[in-house]
Structure 1
Amino acid sequence: MKELTSYISEEKMIRLLDFTNELIIHEGSFSSKLKNLCIELDAIHQTHTTFTVVYEKEIQHLPSLRFNEEFQIQEDRQLYKLLLQDPIPIGWQDLEHLALHRDTHYYVTNQGFNAHYYIPVYTKKNNPIGYFICYYDQHKDEHMNIAQFTDKITKIVQLIHKMQRYQTQIAQLTLVDAHTNLPSYKQFLRIIKQHKAKNKTGVIKIVEPGEFSKVVELFGRPAGDVMLKELGKRLKHLSASENSEVARFTSSSLIMFTPIDFHTIEKTRNAPITDAANSPFIIAGQQIYTTLKIGIAPFEQGHTEYDAIRFAESALTDSKLVPGTQINYYIEQSNRNVKRELLLLNHLKQAIQQKQITAHFQPKFEVRRERIASMEALARWISPELGFISPGEFIPMAESSGLIREIELQIIEQVLQWQQQRQYDGKRIVPIAINISPEHFYHPLFIPKLKSLIGQYYADPHFLIIEITESMSLFDFERAKIILTKLRLLGISTSVDDFGIGYSSLSYLQKFSFDELKIDQSFSRKIDELATQTIVKSIIQIAHMLDMTVIAEGVETLEQSTILKELECDVIQGFYYSRPLSIEDASKLLDEQIHSKKIQFNH
């Protein structure tokens, strides 16, 4: 661009090139970029020149620009086309009547410009982009090479046009899912935003083949794409409205908008959408039947498109919990539950850091000697902001979020601190049972960390009982056996919790050796039934033959306690004898037993 730099200073040239680079990467239409280019050129040349670009699309729109009765619209269009054919200088009077320049005419003449130069701009494939015009004062700029300068500027226009075309192509690719040729999620969002702007309501549906992961595992990812592509066609065909939109949502699901009243379909439960799974999908030449998991939510005023999609996802999650083809309709309570879960999760992390979760002890009473045999440590959380949080709410959340191990380690440490203090005070210590989750039990540092804490507090491991649930063995039999053996070698007792509710209860006892067996509380609640008594009696007899202590949990009435005693249950635990107590109250109860030899209970 040596000729160009001779026309304008090097500093202005650098400015122009920098500006061009910004234009290329900036989002916006081709028209807006050309407008900004002309504005920048005007600024660079100050009062010497003014620039304008008229491009091909504007020429096609000339019928809407009737301005001069003595020239017909068709003639105007033809004249512009002629101008695109021959890049020659044209005098001012030749362009004075042209429709696209009428608005510019007043400004140009008012600025004292009396000459112009026109040159067409083409792509490299000789397709017309439009033409570039520089208006100038021929008396002031007669020595400037306007033609040569304008010719170089057109190359910038060509570059902007080329990059704009690439950007448009890339943008189009993001609007279509390449694997299914369905609209992409991005395009789906654009469409429903347009519906929202027009105050159109409807429903959002998220549909996922129940066997999608198996299809992918057997036939590969392309097979899954084939299934979703066909499913998309079926959903569109079965839709209650021609204006429905179906798009790819995730790798395994589709998302759909239908302009229909949510409450109507929720009440009638009329969902022909499930018919999409009536016929098989042809995958790799094989017929594959699948179930459908569907979540449906309203898309109404007052909710953003993201809210509606989130609601549908929530409904989809619930539908996955039920076997077979399942439709779930979003209810407001679900949203409140999710908000509650997020709130608790945030506070739970703080609670662990600040050690707000404390151990409470629930005594276990030996039937024969009528005294406290041991106690179970239970986690309790009283949040400064939220108040008491039920363990039935925060324990499952801690397990699913991976925080349960930290909570259990804090409970273990509180137990060992209590035992150490009572040992220093010369008071009676009883074994404390601690529930351990599967994640913690199988953690590689479970045994090393436990040994470390025992050593730190100079604790007697014989006063620790590790409780694990019956379902624990389903994770890894061999590893469980090794870990239980290590606990036994340390002198720590083990207990199987919630016994009797699993499908492999007896085989569980056959494979593992436990010190205690805790009968699930569901048996205690129905112990007045003869069938339940028969089952419990059999469990107690088997456990005794294996030299195990039997504990019945969840005992709440005198009748339940009496029957369990008659069935020769060794230890009873439940609200009938004592609720979970703070460490201080549990210590007082234990001390009272020592002095009175027998505890008086208030039932």
Structure 2
Amino acid sequence: MTLGKRALFLIFPVVLLGYLLAALSVYIAQERSIRALEQAKLSQRLEHTAAVFQNEIQRSKSFLNALLNGNVLRQFVAETDERYRMTALGQRLQESIKSLSEDPIAYISFAVLNAQTEPEYYFENSWDPFAEIDGPQRDLARRLIAGKRLSDLTYLQPTGDRPRIVYSLFIDPVTFARPMPSNKANALLMQIAVLPDRFLAMQAALKKEYGADIVLQPWPLAVTDALSASVPLASQLYATIVVPDAYLKEQMLRRMALLALGALAMSLVSIFLIVLLIRRFITGPIASLDADVTAVMNGERDDIRDMDEAGEIGRLTHNIRELHGHSARSLRLVQENSWTDTLTGISNRGRFNTLAAGAVEEAIASGEKCSLLFFDIDNFKFVNDKHGHNVGDDLLKALAARVRQTVDGITRKRGRQPAVLARLSGDEFAVLVRSSAGDGTVREICNAILALFDGGFEVAGKRYPVTASIGVAVCPDDASTVAELISNADAAMYQAKSAGKNRSARFSRALNDERTRQRQIQDELRSLDPDEQFHLVYMPIVNARGEVTGCEALLRWNSPLLGPVTPDEFVPIAESSGLFTKIDWWVIDKAMSDCRQLKGLFGPDTVVAINVSSAELHSRSISDYFSECLGRHGLEPQSIDIELTETFAVKISDGLRWNIEELRQKGFRLSIDDFGAGYTSVQQIIDYAADTIKLDRVLVSNLTASHSLAVLKAVIALCHAKDMAVVGEGVDTPEKLAMLTAAGCDRFQGYLISKPLALDDLAIWALTRTARPYEGSTAGLADRPTTKRQV
């Protein structure tokens, strides 16, 4: 906490308490005045409300007097023709009533009642065209007829109905004046009612503000200590309101809050002036010293200024200057240690990034080049695990020392700037060297590093079977930032590993294009609509008699952006990025939807083979989805052959075995695809739980080329012993077909029979086979001329 804040926290409470006490004194002194002010305000509001009510009374009287003075009402009363009176005269009377109101939609009603309280005319300006005089107003008419009064003003406030002011007047139907009391029985009762909208609105506003409603009663309010008021509205009608004590308390609290805020504001102003003086003469010099120290710590200054201050501040400045000198020397030692890899003694990743960034900037600015050699130790984990971490650490230290010695010797010999050598992590190292295009420096350093591993790497008189893979990227040809340079060199290193390890590889645009295409494929797979870009082709499978027994569904992708993309290219990307689920599920649904057409071409026993991704079989939902599609397309499970790769069968686990067994129990057929691709063992053949084994085309080609009929017979016989049918893939020559047939193969698939075809083309192919009787057997197939394979 700064000194300024300390002074603020110490002085502010004292000043604030003083102002609050002063505000409390003012509040106590003015409490009575506040009560009187609220009483006057309430009385004024209520008197205004009463004036509005009385204005409504005058308005109702004016309406009735206007009607009495007009000719329409006189004609209506005098007319004896009831029909004419209720139609023509009633309509004119209704228009006269509407013309009296300034607001055409304001509520107003007019009623003419006889001595039996039967309405001879009633009109109500409201939304109800069938409105009638209501019960409360009829009850009022009965009381008036039974009484002695010739006129009356009543405020009807019935429960559940709208309140209104009703002005009633008895009229002699002959003279159209007030009747004599003795002739009241023959008089007509005229009633006009208005809705006091403004009065009701002001009543609601008072209730909202004060939390109390206006009470209408025939006597004024008795004197009380509470906040209240009472005003006359009409003869024997008073409006009274009594405000709850909570309202006055709230007002008092509000004023107390205003006084408190005023006290707080005055306190802040006073504190501001006090703190300003303290900062000028006390904390200012200390703040200047603090700024100097901060600038030194941020690297903006090298030393602390000697301030011309006496006393404590001067001594504090001198002591801090001495302390800074000791700290700077210690910091240099710590910084040197933080830049060094603790195991090998060379630069670490942080130091390398700093130095490499500077070298890249200089190379770009000067038009020269700098090259990054990124390498790691092949089989290092094997040595670390087998011989222990101590041996692994010794190997890394020895390697770092020899590489540094080798690289420094080459750069000195060639007159180059010293290279930057760093251990980035684990067994990964980087060498950044400044060079010119085509001078051979990078190639010489790569060869020298690889030469260190000739015959293994020697540590403490013992050689270990490790090599190095080096990736090279050049700035600015391959990258313009350190991050891009490391990424591209790392990609080149993995290219060297793919080529067999113990070699170097230069980052190439082809490699970059390959990585870019992989990213594009992944992006397109993530956003595409399978129905728009995917389609299936079918490759027929025939038996020994040449009859089509099934078709394998093969996926094809024609991207608007990338063009045709082969499954060998996009399937691994989809599986590694978790995008293959929607592809697999689309293929399953689409192939099942085409199954009925395939059965129509080749017979009801035709089986559709569907390839399923190995990764998808980890999901428990795959079995349910197969069943769902089966029911949606009305198929039997025996019509679907689910093809699994042989590599999947090698790596099968208990959970995956459970999924496969569930599919088998539901009746689906299972096939092992690409059998013999290099993972086969006799035990695995015995353990396979499948209906069909599909011999890989490479295995078929190798056995056919070497004329290993006996081996092929043995493999097929072993499969037959396990009750598994055998399909030969890659049958593209009559020789392969003949050899597979001689070995006992059950079914055949390949370009000799047919290339993969779309459903429409497959129908044409089926018709062509029907027209060629020699294609009905494998012998006929073997007699066909060999055609060039189309991909």
- Given the two structures, how large is their TM-score scaled by the length of structure 2? 0.53
Q: Structure 1 stretch 118-127 or stretch 408-417: which is displaced more? A: 118-127
Which of 301, 311, 319 is matched with 2:488 structurally? 311
| Paired AA for residue 494 in structure 2 | T
Q: Deviations over 1:364-422 (max 9, x none)?
A: 12221x22110111111111222111112112222332323332222111112223677
Alignment pair present for 1:182 and 2:357: no
Query: In the alignment, what sits opposite 2:276?
Result: 8
Aligned pairs (5 A) from 1:17-28: none
Query: In the alignment, what sits opposite 2:420?
Result: 245
Separation of aligned partners in 1, 2:464 and 2:293: 48
Alpha-carbon contact 1:527-1:563 (below 8 Å) kept: no
Which of 535, 539, 544 is matched with 1:362 structurally? 539
Separation of aligned partners in 2, 1:475 and 1:451: 25
Separation of aligned partners in 2, 1:347 and 1:25: 56
Query: In the alignment, what sits opposite 1:541?
Result: 717
Q: CA deviation at 1:207?
A: 2.1
Query: In the alignment, what sits opposite 1:192?
Result: 356
Alignment pair present for 1:401 and 2:594: no
Aligned pairs (5 A) from 1:289-300: 289-300=464-475
| Paired AA for residue 241 in structure 1 | T
Q: Which has the higher contact order (CA 8 A, sep 6+)?
A: 1
Which consecutive residues of structure 1, in runs of 5 or more, have no partner in the other structure? 35-54, 59-82, 90-116, 130-160
Give secondary structure in 2 for the equivalent of 1:320.
helix
| Percent of paired sites with the same residue | 20
Alpha-carbon contact 2:473-2:492 (below 8 Å) kept: no
Q: Structure 1 stretch 178-187 or stretch 490-499: which is displaced more? A: 178-187
Q: CA deviation at 1:588?
A: 5.6
| Paired AA for residue 349 in structure 1 | R
Separation of aligned partners in 2, 1:118 and 1:476: 80
Q: Deviations over 1:96-144 (max 9, x none)?
A: xxxxxxxxxxxxxxxxxxxxx9998345483367xxxxxxxxxxxxxxx
Which of 621, 628, 639 is matched with 1:445 structurally? 621
Alpha-carbon contact 2:650-2:684 (below 8 Å) kept: no
| Paired AA for residue 314 in structure 1 | A
CA RMSD in angstroms comes to: 4.6
Separation of aligned partners in 1, 2:576 and 2:552: 23
| Paired AA for residue 562 in structure 2 | L
Which of 339, 361, 378 is matched with 1:210 structurally? 378
Separation of aligned partners in 2, 1:174 and 1:353: 54
Q: Structure 1 stretch 228-237 or stretch 257-266: which is displaced more? A: 257-266
Separation of aligned partners in 1, 2:622 and 2:498: 32
| Paired AA for residue 465 in structure 1 | D
Distance 1:347 1:27, change over 3 A: farther
Which of 348, 355, 358 is matched with 2:525 structurally? 348
Aligned pairs (5 A) from 1:79-94: 87=309
Q: CA deviation at 1:594?
A: 8.0
Separation of aligned partners in 2, 1:190 and 1:409: 50
| Paired AA for residue 544 in structure 2 | V
Alpha-carbon contact 2:558-2:564 (below 8 Å) kept: yes
Separation of aligned partners in 1, 2:595 and 2:705: 40
Alpha-carbon contact 2:352-2:422 (below 8 Å) kept: yes
Query: In the alignment, what sits opposite 2:690?
Result: 514
Alpha-carbon contact 1:210-1:291 (below 8 Å) kept: yes
Distance 1:561 1:16, change over 3 A: farther
Q: CA deviation at 1:212?
A: 3.4
Distance 1:458 1:177, change over 3 A: farther
Aligned pairs (5 A) from 1:551-566: 551-566=727-742
Separation of aligned partners in 1, 2:771 and 2:359: 77
Query: In the alignment, what sits opposite 1:98?
Result: none
| Paired AA for residue 356 in structure 1 | Q
Give secondary structure in 2 for the equivalent of 1:271.
helix
Q: CA deviation at 1:472?
A: 1.9
Q: CA deviation at 1:187?
A: 2.2
Query: In the alignment, what sits opposite 1:474?
Result: 650
Give secondary structure in 2 for the equivalent of 1:364.
strand
Q: CA deviation at 1:500?
A: 2.2
Separation of aligned partners in 1, 2:574 and 2:292: 50
Which of 236, 252, 273 is matched with 2:404 structurally? 236
Q: CA deviation at 1:488?
A: 2.2
Distance 1:290 1:530, change over 3 A: closer
Higher-Rg member (1/2): 2
Q: CA deviation at 1:287?
A: 6.0
Query: In the alignment, what sits opposite 1:337?
Result: 514
Which of 583, 586, 594 is matched with 1:410 structurally? 586
Distance 1:211 1:9, change over 3 A: farther
Q: Deviations over 1:125-180 (max 9, x none)?
A: 83367xxxxxxxxxxxxxxxxxxxxxxxxxxxxxxx99x99999998776444555
Alpha-carbon contact 1:366-1:571 (below 8 Å) kept: yes
Give secondary structure in 2 for the equivalent of 1:402.
coil
Query: In the alignment, what sits opposite 2:476?
Result: 301
Give secondary structure in 1 for the equivalent of 2:670.
strand
Aligned pairs (5 A) from 1:111-122: 121-122=317-318
| Paired AA for residue 377 in structure 2 | P
Distance 1:23 1:320, change over 3 A: farther
Q: Structure 1 stretch 491-500 or stretch 400-409: which is displaced more? A: 400-409
Q: Structure 1 stretch 330-339 or stretch 532-541: which is displaced more? A: 532-541
Query: In the alignment, what sits opposite 1:135?
Result: none
Query: In the alignment, what sits opposite 1:271?
Result: 447
Which of 114, 118, 126 is matched with 2:322 structurally? 126
Separation of aligned partners in 2, 1:556 and 1:483: 35
Separation of aligned partners in 1, 2:708 and 2:319: 87
Separation of aligned partners in 1, 2:667 and 2:644: 16
| Paired AA for residue 467 in structure 1 | E
| Paired AA for residue 362 in structure 2 | K
Distance 1:122 1:222, change over 3 A: farther
Distance 1:298 1:442, change over 3 A: closer
Give secondary structure in 2 for the equivalent of 1:334.
helix
Alpha-carbon contact 2:716-2:726 (below 8 Å) kept: yes
Alpha-carbon contact 1:447-1:487 (below 8 Å) kept: yes
| Paired AA for residue 121 in structure 1 | T
Give secondary structure in 2 for the equivalent of 1:295.
strand
Instruction: Number of aligned residue pairs: give it.
Output: 491
Distance 1:559 1:275, change over 3 A: closer
Alpha-carbon contact 1:352-1:406 (below 8 Å) kept: no
Distance 1:31 1:320, change over 3 A: closer
Alpha-carbon contact 1:523-1:532 (below 8 Å) kept: no
Q: CA deviation at 1:449?
A: 3.5
Query: In the alignment, what sits opposite 1:490?
Result: 666
Separation of aligned partners in 2, 1:597 and 1:23: 101
Alpha-carbon contact 1:202-1:299 (below 8 Å) kept: yes
Separation of aligned partners in 1, 2:334 and 2:424: 19
Give secondary structure in 2 for the equivalent of 1:8.
helix
Q: CA deviation at 1:548?
A: 2.5
Q: CA deviation at 1:486?
A: 2.7
Q: Deviations over 1:570-599 (max 9, x none)?
A: 222112222212234335655777899987
Query: In the alignment, what sits opposite 2:144?
Result: none
Distance 1:501 1:520, change over 3 A: same
Alignment pair present for 1:569 and 2:745: yes
Alpha-carbon contact 1:280-1:290 (below 8 Å) kept: no
Q: CA deviation at 1:552?
A: 1.4
Aligned pairs (5 A) from 1:219-234: 227-234=395-402
